[in-house]
A and B are shown apart, each in its own frame.
Chain A
Amino acid sequence: MEAAVFILSLIDCCALIFLSVYFIITLSDLECDYINARACCSKLNKWVIPELVGQALATVLMLVSMHWFIFLLNVPVASWNVYRYVKVPMGNMGVFDPTEIHNRGQLKSHMKEAMIKLGFHLLCFFIYLYSTEKATKTTLYDN
């Protein structure tokens, strides 16, 4: 059971890492003018919800399996994702708005955010990996 939870989180985490990398690549493409803002934002906005769901999934998994520490680690990021999504003004086209992304250093802050998330997911990845290992070992010994 324990092991299953962590393996699931591990897969989830991998997906989130890939997503973060995708965000970073797309944003830096925009920064370097390889794609235009419109395309970039519509690409990224598509993945905002999946990211939110993925993060929430990991959080819920930790909650139900009662791994409090990892749960607390995940809560801020999950709530940030929700907050960010909810706070989008009515007139905007999503979390990433092509008309504003070049203003007031938004691109920079999006980039920073994606970087931090990548780091966080990597950290989580190793935690899950370690926990999986531990869980599988314990199950082995139990048997």
Chain B
Amino acid sequence: MSAPGFTNLNPSVNNYVNPTQNGGGGATPYHNGPGQPLPAMYPASNYYTGVPQQGYLAMPGQLPPPPSKAPPMNTDFSATYYHNSHSQAGAGPGVGPTPYPPPHGLQTPTQPPSTATHSVSGAPQYQPPASYATPANYYGQRYGTSSQGQQQPMLVPASSSSNPLFPIVSYPSGPGSSEYGTLRSSQGAAERPPIPAVIQPPTHSALQQYPQGNGATPKPAQQGYGAPPLTQTATVNGQSNAVQQCYDQTPPGPVGPHYSSASPSLEGPVRGHAPSGTPSTSVHSSPSRQQGLLYGGYGENSAPSSSTGLPGDHSSSSSDQDDEDEEDEEAGGDSSSTTTGSASPVPNSYESLEGGIYPGSSSVPPPADPTKQAPPFGYNYPAMQPGYQQSPTPRAGSSPSHGGYNAPGYQPYSQPFPSLSQLSTALGGLSGVSEQEVEGLRPVNLLQERNLLPLKRGTPAEPNLSSNLRKMNCSPDTFRCTLSSIPQTQALLNKARLPLGLLLHPFRDLTQLPVITSNTIVRCRSCRTYINPFVSFLDQHRWKCNLCYRVNDVPDEFMYNPVTRSYGEPHKRPEVQNSTVEFIASSDYMLRPPQPAAYLFVLDVSHNAVESGYLNVLCQSLLENLEKLPGDSRTRIGFLTFDSTIHFYNLQEGLSQPQMLVVSDIDDVFIPTPDSLLVNLKESHEMVKDLLNALPAMFTHTRETHSALGPALQAAYKLMSATGGRVSVFQTQLPSLGAGLLQSREDPNLRSSTKGVQHLGPATDFYKKLALDCSGQQIGVDLFLLSSQYSDLASLACMSKYSAGSIFYYPGFHHVHSPAQNLKLQQDLHRYLTRKIGFEAVMRIRCTKGLSIHTFHGNFFVRSTDLLSLANVNPDSGFAVQMSIDESLADTSLACFQAALLYTSSKGKRRIRVHTLCLPVVSQLSDVFAGADVEAITCLLANMAIDRSISSSLLDARDALVNAVVDSLEAYRANGSNLQLSGLTAPAALRLFPLYVLALLKQKALRTGTSTRLDDRVFAMCEFKSQPLKQIMRLIHPDLYRVDNLTEQGALHLNERMIPQPPLLQLSAEKLSRDGAFLMDCGSVMYLWVGKCCDEMFVRDVLGCPDYASIPPDMTEIPALETTASERTRAFVSWLQEARAFCAAFCVLKDEPSAKSSFFQHLIEDRSESAFSYYEFLLHIQQQMSK
């Protein structure tokens, strides 16, 4: 791939001007980015460099593996597993009639509802996804090829200008690569054919093929702007069609009420549908001759490799609260359990807490620890110009090697990983997807390939498992491992220099969840693992645990399958068919009767708080959502306000109005009337409403500036300790009275220091102790910090960190002056108050014998070696753990991980949600690299870096991050040592690793040199520690889209809504242009940046302003206008918003210097005053590696 940005021969790069270079002046250098000049010189599609790079995606398709290997079920697991709710709706009625047969007549008449759930989950499980899995794959492939076609115009001039660099990284062109393809699939190893492709005439034939392929398409091959959308169309249509098909199909279709019914007939729907359901289907591309194969069963093979193209259907975690919650509440009952074990602590076998590796850590220094001698960033490249083209040095260094590089052709490339061929044969039985491995290993020269971003955020590479296992495996959104192939030994893991860990999002909102109400919860007798799809049944009556390998008996009751109503098929039970299930637990899993939902609001009403006006927002929001608070008839609620004294509110029903009780003795807080402060919401509903209406006005004239947060929290603890529940603390300033008072520790002059940051840890152990006390009494504390001044979040955050709460921070909140924050608080509160909640929860993560967890990240208290105590669990928190390999896993081919979350639902039912992940164990280093999941690695590293910056120092953590990249790339180079690679090469699976690490280094949490308020930094750290992976990735590497030319091409159709799918752009000012409008999605905030010369049409139709100048400076939403452009933009934005739990704040920014700080700080590929540009960072890494 010719990376325009990196090459001095490419005219476009001359336009690449780093904006930050020009300081804050009015001049906006990025305007002459590729915008105007480029199209002139560049006829073709490489305008959007974000798009074409995926050329290699086409490869798997082009190399047909032998058809015999075709697995019978070629559905994408994840798509299959998480069906969307529509299919559920369709299935429901069909299934209803099949009654849940009471096994042995034990079941109560309340059973049928739960049947519905079972069957619902079972029924659509195979059918609809099957119908679209293939189109998606198919598209993924087609896409890859078409991008090749587009690529050509760029390649040709490049090679003609005799740039020796291009050949290295160029795409395999259609026919040429098919040769390679055969070569590769036969050898099983030659994964990088690209070299000679450019020089060869095949470029031409590829071009020819392109039109051919597209012949069937209604769309002409477009150039320039149109091109990327075209390619995108392909992928996305795959999905949209799929979705539609789903709709069409499910209701009439034979909705199998049985779990087993659909699976064998997969092939049918797949074949039948793929062609018919794809309007824009162009049976196209060089692999067109293999098309039959593709349909026949190779969809699967292309699936993982084209993962970037596959839209994450299953990830559509729409916020449908689990419906089965209601359905099942009545079903289960606290039926007496017969054989279930007790909830007593599991004797755990993980004796070893051996410190694992931290590849980047200086505690495990690489032979030549580079950063030790490394000067601070920026030092090395004083003369480095922002434009990549102006750094010829490395280029010169690398080019000489080219002759030799090209000469032998692609033969040598089959050698570097000789093991692969053996491996693929060895794994042949296990799976038929060695392409994915090969793809993951393809070396990418980072210095030359620029367009590394996937087209859109894709699903991670799937583990190399047999289709059966893969289909049943846990969704990557819930459970992800940094290495999707587990190394056999710790030595191998050390060699790879990559962190091994898991990222979990165990309680996330699911649209589909099998709920099992069974008298017997089958678990391993020795390790207490729940039975899961990856256990093996030795015979009818015995099963072997997949974690500890103990052979257990199958209880009699388990022999009966309520879903199929058959006896003697234990392996067809839902527990054994789904890797995510929820059990209704019996009383054995209770230490006390399930607690009622209890909510206590602790509100700061000091002068500062009243001034900010948050009380109004909160009370309003509470009034609106009072009915929607999760809970049942026992739900309890209470309020407590504080300034220098503590005010309790007696809400006992029967009183004429709420009664305020003031306790001014903050040194020894007592509860004035223990019974009537936390009241039943149903009974005292009116009273609560009265209070909420009155509260905002009650303190308007307060002159009290002090805040006695500590005593208030102690009071809250006392109030709640009988029941447990959730305490929501709203605080607006530094606590200044009583226990837990804090002093300001921030020195504003040091905000932009490059010498590390002090005071990242708590100043006192008061909040930690309190949190642990709360955790012991099952009280979760959530903190809302709305302060404009330093409030020592580092100390305050402890109250939530260890009690499994969540932390919200609204810097500079003011109800009038900061409308964006105001809106955000409203939206957040809505979600916060209505989201699902689990009480008195514990989570245990078990792994296959030989693996052990040694470090945990997230908000919780680690009560014993592997037991996480979560007083509250909410659907928006994620967890991470680090693992080490204590014993060799040589005698097993699969490693399994099981996370079991035991909680009390808001309806007072004890439930266990069990997720099981299964991954292959590999013995070759190359396989470890091929299976690396760069997003997961980045998130885990972020967690580790934050730990390190608190326990050691920020600079240490930053060094460790850089070392992590250097080490892993070094390890990769050492592994393929007979491969004469020039420049900086990374395996394709890790190609984004340096970019993400650079992004991490530029994060608020970890950056130095840029002015960052201490609280902002600490909050960013807290977010990294407690957010799920998807959210973290958006924080680390925001998504940038161009939105002023949204087209219908490639749009996604959901519920009759058309959602445009613009391509993902690199985070570089080079991608911005003055005549466009760009949307940046940073996770918790979205920026719409409007260029100065932006299309009048856009300004008028979308923003509703007559011209650019009249766009108001603080626009926080897109007005609902009746124009197509507006509808499209709004559809796109709201679609993005729906993908997250908490709405992102929306912000329209004009192209003005004032917008710089907020928007341009996220353009992480560019250089800033204190940090490297991406290219400089790569050179830095290269330098470190050569040391």
Contacts and interface: CB of A to CB of B under 8 A. Distances in A.
Interface of A: 30-33, 36-38, 89-93, 98-99, 101-109
Contact of A102 (B356, B865, B947): B865
A105 B355 contact: yes
Nearest to B794: A91
Contacts of B762: 89-91
Contacts, number: 80
B768 interface: yes
Given A99-B802, A105-B354, A31 B765 contact: no
Given A36-B863, A105-B854, A108-B355, A99 B772 contact: yes
Contact of A103 (B345, B351, B862): B862
11 contacts: A91-B798, A92-B765, A92-B768, A98-B772, A98-B861, A99-B862, A101-B862, A104-B854, A104-B855, A105-B355, A105-B855
A104 B363 CA distance: 12
Contacts of A33: 345-348, 864-865, 867
Interface of B: 345-348, 351-356, 761-765, 768-769, 772, 776, 794-795, 798, 801-802, 854-856, 861-865, 867, 947, 951
Given A38-B776, A89-B761, A31 B861 contact: no
Contacts of A107: 353, 865
Given A91-B765, A92-B765, A102 B864 contact: yes
A103 B347 contact: no
A106 B764 CA distance: 21
A12 B211 CA distance: 91
B764 A102 contact: no
Contacts of B798: 91
A59 to B, nearest CB: 29
Nearest to B795: A91
Contacts of B346: 33
A106 B951 CA distance: 13
A93 to B, nearest CB: 5
Closest 9 CB pairs of A and B: A91-B762, A105-B355, A102-B862, A33-B864, A105-B353, A33-B345, A108-B353, A103-B855, A93-B765
A41 B820 CA distance: 45
A120 B348 CA distance: 31
A93 B353 contact: no
A106 B768 CA distance: 18
Contact of A38 (B345, B354, B355, B772): B772
A108 B852 CA distance: 13
A101 B763 CA distance: 19
Contacts of B867: 33
A60 B629 CA distance: 64
Nearest to B358: A104
Nearest to A101: B862
A102 B795 CA distance: 21
Nearest to B769: A93
Contacts of A89: 761-762, 951
B864 A91 contact: no
A90 B864 contact: no
Contact of B856 (A31, A93, A102, A109): A102
A106 B761 CA distance: 18
B769 A104 contact: no
A3 to B, nearest CB: 45
Contacts of A92: 765, 768
B150 to A, nearest CB: 49
Contacts of A105: 353-356, 854-855
A37 to B, nearest CB: 6
Contacts of A90: 761-765
Nearest to B762: A91
A36 B854 CA distance: 17
A101 B864 CA distance: 9
Contacts of B765: 90-93
Nearest to A28: B351
Contacts of A32: 347
Contact of B864 (A36, A93, A103, A106): A36
Contacts of B855: 103-105
Given A33-B345, A105-B354, A91 B862 contact: no
Contacts of B862: 37, 99, 101-103
B353 A102 contact: yes
Contacts of A101: 862
A50 to B, nearest CB: 20
B956 to A, nearest CB: 14
A99 B804 CA distance: 12
B768 A91 contact: yes
A91 B763 contact: yes
Nearest to B766: A91
Contacts of A108: 352-355
B733 to A, nearest CB: 20
Contacts of A37: 861-864
A104 to B, nearest CB: 5
B355 A104 contact: yes
Contacts of A104: 355, 854-855, 947
A90 B792 CA distance: 14
A69 B862 CA distance: 44
B443 to A, nearest CB: 34
Nearest to A91: B762
B713 to A, nearest CB: 16
Contacts of A103: 854-856, 862, 947
Contacts of B347: 32-33
Q: Which of B351, B765, B776 has the most CB of A within 10 A?
A: B765
Nearest to B857: A103
Contacts of A99: 768, 772, 801-802, 861-862
Given A38-B772, A102-B353, A105-B354, A91 B865 contact: no
Contacts of A36: 863-864
Contacts of A31: 351, 353, 865
